[in-house]
Structure 1
């Protein structure tokens, strides 16, 4: 049995993109006044990995056009910063780079201090805990685990958002038996590239009680734009208690954003030799984007592979195991949400995992 410890979320600091040492000195001073530290990147290449996960990005006027040329994705909470006379025509550049605001120093210093303070690690703007789930191979059971985690958190009275990031997965609304519920799906939100109001997002999506789902419709397949994922997760962080993202095995930019934003990621691997070999490839792609990646091994084990052995081969901590659960499979075919009854191997595992991530007991009644 793995240790029952709380998962500490990885702090995410504001990002400053500038090679102007004088401007950097000013912004570091303002960050200190706001009670936070910042990550610094001298150019877009150095900023790319932190561009979307950062709670706030300040781009110096010296790097605005470089960010345009680098084709960094649009994102919420992006501010273009410069001194008086350096930003003309400031709003034209801001619109091109996707900035929400233009801050001219020294006049905007008090405003920037407030924005930096709001984005400091530990502030309530990033209160939600977020987990990502991905499969070691197709049909591994990742979507069922994602649904079970979301249902379990909602049963424990945590405001929960379940995000379907897999366009080819068939739809998490089907996993929950919610395909008939009205509400927006991803295609209607694919153009979002800025700050999304959390109550507006929650109110527009299919929901029951404390659980809200962002899934796909049955129409034409769309690529999931990275800025839309960033905007949805930003709203979720600010407006929910717990977020679960079901990731595809074929990573795109949107999946990378979700994985980077996750406090914990779980890789579901059937206890089979070929599944373990396939999972090793997934680990090679996913691990660089996630500080906390663990494996969950699902039975049966036709070759008697041990869960601990699979975890050792993958080089990952073992978060848990799942025994075969025929009643779960039958319930899913009848449209019953996974772990909804609070009984069985999946429900027990989900209760433990949600408790570990949130630090709050996840055994509340429906």
Structure 2
């Protein structure tokens, strides 16, 4: 059976162009009809019907149905509401003010029903050079490998670009400066546009800073994170310790924030400063401790020192730094980094929820 697309019934060419532009922004293909009579054959089958006021002027002889939207230019008038009632429209949307809601309606058709298994994870260093970016990438790769899909999001404007860590800086696809996002965005459309890093189990979508150009605003970050979570993705964000708008946007939405702390006394002191900024906003926080410790401190001792639950620990993988400098990001299946990434995923997905309360 052929896939059914939303039906746009519009008699005003200017408003039709606006509706089609919004649908394209959501990555949604539509069918068109100039009036209600021409829409008869597709009226009941379309997953969504969008009418303009010109089309709604005619008497409606079609059966009442759900998911009908009436779009108008500017503020709705009493006549607009009368036409909405006569056509059985469940909502009136005014353009351009409510464009984001119309994008959301089209995106709902593209992405399907919202899933409840998507999570957002933020990873931040307790001090500079803690290895947060590497752990964030490892968690995203592990999520992709374990099913459901991963999405790696660069939220550190001073990190040089997560694509460099992935050795994907020459890969085609938009970076933050090329993404014009606001409000809802379709994960299906976004996933098709973003660059992907190949891995043994498939490929990982990522959003990276570019070498130049502006970064994302909080609205753009929220759009990507919410879209990924709604689609059932594990969205992993590499966070900046500068605590700008990027970090704050993620912290307010994340299901789990992971603070990466080297097993050093001075790193504990630095991490406490980071935690003091995170705790008023974050819902759940855990630490991942990176050894070895020069003083022989155990991972649990580090976690106790900063007063946050331990969710993962990892030692040094001797070949990792050299591999990264060669432009190779290879996650060993049974390596300590892979194990730590699996522990972070388990915590984010609720398997260690009791330990984080």
Whether the aligned pair in 2 keeps the contact of 1:129 and 1:243 (CA below 8 Å) is: yes
Give the whole-Å Cα distance in 2 for the aligned partners of 1:290 and 1:157.
Answer: 26
1:129-188 Cα distance to aligned partner (Å, 9 max, x none):
221100011100000000111111112233110001001111111222222211110111
Give the whole-Å Cα distance in 2 for the aligned partners of 1:84 and 1:290.
Answer: 43
> How many residue pairs were aligned?
254
- The within-5 A match list for 1:27-66 is none
Structure 2 counterpart SS, 1:144: helix
Give the whole-Å Cα distance in 2 for the aligned partners of 1:347 and 1:125.
Answer: 26
Match of 1:171 among 150, 156, 161: 161
Task: Confirm whether residue 129 of structure 1 aligns to residue 122 of structure 2.
Answer: no
1:48-76 Cα distance to aligned partner (Å, 9 max, x none):
xxxxxxxxxxxxxxxxxxxxxxxxxxxxx
Task: Confirm whether residue 299 of structure 1 aligns to residue 291 of structure 2.
Answer: yes
Give the whole-Å Cα distance in 2 for the aligned partners of 1:173 and 1:316.
Answer: 31
User: Does 1 or 2 have the higher relative contact order (CA < 8 Å, sep 6+)?
Assistant: 1
Match of 1:215 among 200, 208, 214: 208
Whether the aligned pair in 2 keeps the contact of 1:151 and 1:338 (CA below 8 Å) is: no
Structure 1 counterpart SS, 2:341: helix
Give the whole-Å Cα distance in 2 for the aligned partners of 1:223 and 1:138.
Answer: 21
Whether the aligned pair in 2 keeps the contact of 1:176 and 1:335 (CA below 8 Å) is: yes
- CA spacing shift, 1:359–1:272, aligned 2, 3 Å: closer
Give the whole-Å Cα distance in 1 for the aligned partners of 2:237 and 2:101.
Answer: 30
Structure 1 residue 93 displacement after superposition: 11
Structure 1 residue 124 displacement after superposition: 2.7
Q: Which structure has the larger Rg over C-alpha atoms? A: 2
Whether the aligned pair in 2 keeps the contact of 1:157 and 1:210 (CA below 8 Å) is: no
Whether the aligned pair in 2 keeps the contact of 1:268 and 1:297 (CA below 8 Å) is: yes
Note the residue ranges of structure 1 that are not aligned, 5 or more in a row: 1-81, 103-114, 361-366
Q: Name the Cα RMSD after superposition.
A: 2.9
Whether the aligned pair in 1 keeps the contact of 2:311 and 2:343 (CA below 8 Å) is: no
Whether the aligned pair in 1 keeps the contact of 2:100 and 2:182 (CA below 8 Å) is: no
Q: Match for residue 132 of structure 2?
A: 142
1:205-247 Cα distance to aligned partner (Å, 9 max, x none):
1113341000111124x34311111111122122342111111
Task: Confirm whether residue 269 of structure 1 aligns to residue 269 of structure 2.
Answer: no
Give the whole-Å Cα distance in 2 for the aligned partners of 1:143 and 1:317.
Answer: 20
- The within-5 A match list for 1:186-197 is 186-189=176-179, 191-197=180-186
Q: Match for residue 224 of structure 1?
A: 216
Structure 1 residue 84 displacement after superposition: 9.0
Structure 1 counterpart SS, 2:279: helix
Whether the aligned pair in 1 keeps the contact of 2:156 and 2:246 (CA below 8 Å) is: no
Task: Confirm whether residue 244 of structure 1 aligns to residue 236 of structure 2.
Answer: yes
Note the residue ranges of structure 2 that are not aligned, 5 or more in a row: 1-74, 82-91, 352-357
Give the whole-Å Cα distance in 1 for the aligned partners of 2:228 and 2:286.
Answer: 23
Whether the aligned pair in 2 keeps the contact of 1:164 and 1:214 (CA below 8 Å) is: yes
What is the TM-score of this pair, normalised by structure 2?
0.64
- The within-5 A match list for 1:1-366 is 95=97, 100=100, 124-125=114-115, 127-189=117-179, 191-207=180-196, 208=198, 209-220=202-213, 222-339=214-331, 341-358=332-349
Give the whole-Å Cα distance in 1 for the aligned partners of 2:232 and 2:165.
Answer: 21
Q: Which runs of 4+ in 1 moved over 4 A?
A: 82-85, 90-94
Whether the aligned pair in 1 keeps the contact of 2:261 and 2:287 (CA below 8 Å) is: yes
Give the whole-Å Cα distance in 2 for the aligned partners of 1:145 and 1:125.
Answer: 26
Give the whole-Å Cα distance in 2 for the aligned partners of 1:302 and 1:240.
Answer: 41
What is the TM-score of this pair, normalised by structure 1?
0.63
Structure 1 residue 352 displacement after superposition: 2.9
Give the whole-Å Cα distance in 1 for the aligned partners of 2:303 and 2:177.
Answer: 37
Give the whole-Å Cα distance in 2 for the aligned partners of 1:185 and 1:83.
Answer: 38
Structure 1 residue 319 displacement after superposition: 1.0
